[in-house]
Amino acid sequence: MTSAKFLGRVLIIAGSDSSGGAGIQADIKTVTALGGYAATAVTAITVQNTLGVTDVHLIPLDIVEAQARAVLDDIGADAIKTGMLGGIEMVERVAEILDSASDVPAVVDPVMIAKGGAPLLELRAIEAVRSLMVPRAALLTPNTPEAEALTGLVIRTPDDMRRAGEVLLRAGAQAVLMKGGHMPGDTVIDVLMTPHGETTFETARQETRHTHGTGCTLASACATGLAQGMSLPAAVARAWAYVQEAMARAPGFGAGHGPLDHAWPVR
């Protein structure tokens, strides 16, 4: 158990991205690059590339649950990361899975819209995410549009981000990483908020189109750190630095929102 704990077992419950830049594929690459062990329960198969999502096939609920339980009953998990859930019924089923592993910290990425603009969550499912996933999150990682949808607030400034983060903490999240990349400006500010204080991560904006899968990657990197026994601030700091470098080293693939270089620590 000691070696497994050090390795860090992460169960990822999310959708597949055929282009490999986001979703389950990005999650597996991230966990592996940071020295963890990735297992998966696939919620959906998407047809997509850097130009956008053209089709989505949802996996039956019982199969999703069976995948997760097969992993938890045998290999186990030191952290769980959730991504694309698609609809109310999937949100409800994944909440039940999290309850069955309540001693395992969950990093919840409230995926709603793909980088190219395609919806990845039914509008009617937003309330289910708010009421069922937010209170089960050891760490919630919304970008500003997702935070606006979950709180009903307009977010235009870092102070707006903090106000939204406070609402999400009151809604039950143990910690919230408010991501500011969608806000305009030459500087990108992310804020990790807990009931005990906050940590700010700030950097010059990278002028790049290669941002496909940044949210999935960041959440999975955070989950890996928690699975490996790192403190929350340390796990988020490492994850944040990992994503910045992966963007800077992007291989330049695709004609649209290109993927990151997830494997840079390995090389």
Which of 20, 36, 215, 258 is labelled catalytic?
A: 215
**Each residue of 40-91: pLDDT tens digit?**
999 999 999 999 999 999 999 999 999 999 999 999 999 999 999 999 999 9
pLDDT given for residue 87 in this prediction: 93
Residue 254 is given by DSSP the state: S
**Each residue of 199-248: pLDDT tens digit?**
999 999 999 999 999 999 999 999 999 999 999 999 999 999 999 999 99
Which of 46, 216, 217, 258 is labelled catalytic?
A: 216
Query: 213 an active-site residue?
Result: yes
Query: 179 an active-site residue?
Result: yes
In whole numbers, what is the pLDDT of the chain averaged over residues?
95
pLDDT bracket for residue 2 (50, 70, 90): very low
pLDDT bracket for residue 124 (50, 70, 90): confident
pLDDT bracket for residue 250 (50, 70, 90): very high
Which of 43, 214, 217, 224 is labelled catalytic?
A: 214
Query: 172 an active-site residue?
Result: no
Percentage, residues of the chain above pLDDT 70: 98
How many helices and strands (H and E) does the chain possess? Answer: 9, 9
pLDDT given for residue 4 in this prediction: 53
pLDDT given for residue 1 in this prediction: 41
* pLDDT at 32 exceeding the cut of 80: yes
Q: Going by DSSP bridges, is the β-strand pair 79-82/52-58 parallel, antiparallel, or unpaired? A: unpaired
| Cα separation values, 236 from 101, 191, 225, 262, Å | 22, 10, 8, 16
- pTM (2 d.p.): 0.96
pLDDT given for residue 120 in this prediction: 81
Q: In a 3-state reduction of DSSP, which class is residue 75?
A: coil
Query: 211 an active-site residue?
Result: yes
**Each residue of 106-115: pLDDT tens digit?**
999 999 987 7
* pLDDT at 162 exceeding the cut of 90: yes
DSSP string computed for 210-229: --BTHHHHHHHHHHHHHHTT
10 vs 69: CA distance, rounded Å: 13
Tell me what the mean pLDDT of segment 137-156 comes to. Answer: 96
Which of 81, 179, 217, 258 is labelled catalytic?
A: 179
Angle at CA 136, nearest 5°, toward 163 and 68?
140
146 vs 165: CA distance, rounded Å: 11
Which of 15, 213, 225, 258 is labelled catalytic?
A: 213
pLDDT given for residue 5 in this prediction: 52
Cβ neighbours of 172 (radius 10 Å): 15
Under CATH, which number does the domain 2-248 receive?
A: 3.40.1190.20
pLDDT given for residue 267 in this prediction: 84
